[in-house]
Amino acid sequence: MEYNLQVTIDSDSGFCFGVVYAIDMAEEILAEDGYLYCLGDIVHNDEEVERLKSKGLKIIEHSQLEYLHNEKVLIRAHGEAPETYKIALQNNITLIDASCPVVLKLQNRIKTTHDTKEKILIFGKHGHAEVIGLQGQTNNEAIVFQDIKELEDVELPQKFTLYSQTTKSTDKFYSIKDELINRGYDVKANDTICRQVSNRDKDLPDFVKKFDKIVFVSGKKSSNGKVLYEVCRKNNPATYFISNPEDLEKSMFNPNDKVGIAGATSTPMWLMEEIKKVLEAY
């Protein structure tokens, strides 16, 4: 049976400029030196990481940085805490700093707030590289939470400044802000969600409503992948989350379905094109 699927890729999908910048920087050095260390996965997408590893990218953990000397190390778009810069200086490591300018600006804002002795809350994922970098600006004094329920057991200051990890859901951020104000706190809220994510929040619903099925492509570790997948699912319940072509199953589709493909800000366009080809061959 031929499926004859009509497949369209969301033109707003593909890497955000922060990820493009980091990967361009890595590829330039890989072409010159043949290898490059990168602190953590350069992007939360296994397929893209594998592609770059085959060109000589060596992913290292933070614990390995202390034992490395006289090498070049790439800092990915998520940014790093001050501690990383200190270790690099001690070990004569040349940092290739591909921290996204949006993240760097947020780090600076958080540092400035911390310097004025204001209390800080960060809505972000525990253990996420960006969040570790943000918390590092406050000498790890900022309170990080990923779910408002976590705050029930914590004694909060009466007055604080609220920030957000750049890839969180805008809706959730504002509902958290309202909830905290309702609870009687004096909250100075800064919506620091990246426009590359929040604009997608707005445009994706229109895109996904046009199709019978949506294939959402993302690595499982991607924070904005989770947010954008939820946006797709809410607006088109026939949405499938996949990470690579092997996750596709024919049973997901009916003949002549119109299929939309969308992805996270860390999903490479080449991967979505590969998936389109597979679907068109059904």
As annotated, the active-site residues are: 130
* Residue list 78-107, contact with ligand SF4 (CB under 6 A): 100, 102-103
Stretch that binds ligand SF4, among 86-94, 114-122, 191-199, 271-279 (CB under 6 A): 191-199
In Å, the largest CA–CA distance within the chain is: 67
Residue with smaller CB distance to ligand SF4, 102 or 134? 102
* Residue list 202-241, contact with ligand SF4 (CB under 6 A): none
Stretch that binds ligand SF4, among 113-121, 171-179, 192-200, 205-213 (CB under 6 A): 192-200
Nearest residue by C-beta to ligand SF4?
Answer: 18
Report the nearest approach of ligand SF4 to the CB of residue 194 (Å).
3
Q: For residues 222 and 19, what is the distance between their CA atoms, to the nearest angstrom?
A: 12
Q: For residues 12 and 123, what is the distance between their CA atoms, to the nearest angstrom?
A: 26
- Residue 16 interacts with ligand SF4 (CB under 6 A): yes or no: yes
Q: For residues 268 and 24, what is the distance between their CA atoms, to the nearest angstrom?
A: 13
In the list 13, 84, 164, 196, the residue contacting ligand SF4 (rule: CB under 6 A) is 196
Sheet with 57-60, edge to edge strand ranges: 57-60, 36-39, 72-75, 94-97
In the list 5, 7, 10, 18, the residue contacting ligand SF4 (rule: CB under 6 A) is 18
- Residue 129 interacts with ligand SF4 (CB under 6 A): yes or no: no
Residue 96's H or E segment, with its range, is: strand 94-97
Q: For residues 91 and 93, what is the distance between their CA atoms, to the nearest angstrom?
A: 5
- Amino acid code (one letter) for 212: D
Residue with smaller CB distance to ligand SF4, 105 or 183? 105
Taking Cα atoms as reference points, which of 37, 162, 65, 185 lies closest to residue 109? 162
β partners of residue 75? 97
- Amino acid code (one letter) for 45: N
Stretch that binds ligand SF4, among 13-21, 28-36, 109-117, 199-207 (CB under 6 A): 13-21
Residue with smaller CB distance to ligand SF4, 13 or 196? 196
Stretch that binds ligand SF4, among 5-13, 14-22, 135-143, 268-276 (CB under 6 A): 14-22
Taking Cα atoms as reference points, which of 91, 69, 9 lies closest to residue 268? 9
Binding site for ligand SF4 (CB under 6 A): 16-19, 77, 100, 102-103, 166-167, 194, 196-197, 265
